[in-house]
Amino acid sequence: MAGENIDTSEVLVTREQIEEMLTRLSAQINRDYEGRQLIVCGILTGAFIFTSDLVKRLTMPVIIDFMQVSSYVGEISSGNLKIKKDMSYDIEGKDVLIVEDIIDTGRTLELLKQQLLKRNPASLKICTAFDKPARRENDLKPDYNGIVVPDEFIVGYGLDLDGKYRNFDDIRIVRKG
């Protein structure tokens, strides 16, 4: 899509729908972790806005950390997880919540989940803002599922196209012009 005319005018998910999702997910997480400390691990770069908005609504003691991972070379999954930035905290014996922007094929997140389970957390759950099950290539299901989206290329609320459009406060469909 680089170098082509890009149209991002079609809104798929409004800011109001995102607010409702944040309220719903944070209520579920607050119930599940009441009275416990939680390590929230946002996956960079796409989940930074969602992670920020989510943790502001959490009521338990929270440690915030980030990872940056990839299993893709270009648009092809290598099947190997490359950790570009690892967590700063030891998660052994701790409750951990992975916060992701979107789950599509599920390949990278499944590899990350298996890698983190080797570090022996007390619990490991996944929260995603957006879920694209039509593209799933495994049986990965998020524990906290934001909004199911169709198989469209989307941007905004942290999601990007070549680093652009993350700053939209809604989700928009990318169309080639």
Active site residues: 104
Strand order in the sheet with 62-73: 76-85, 62-73, 38-44, 95-103, 123-131, 144-148
Q: What are phi and psi of 60, to 5 degrees?
A: -85, 165
Token pair belonging to 14:
């409004």
Cis peptide, bond prior to residue 45, ω within 30 of zero: yes
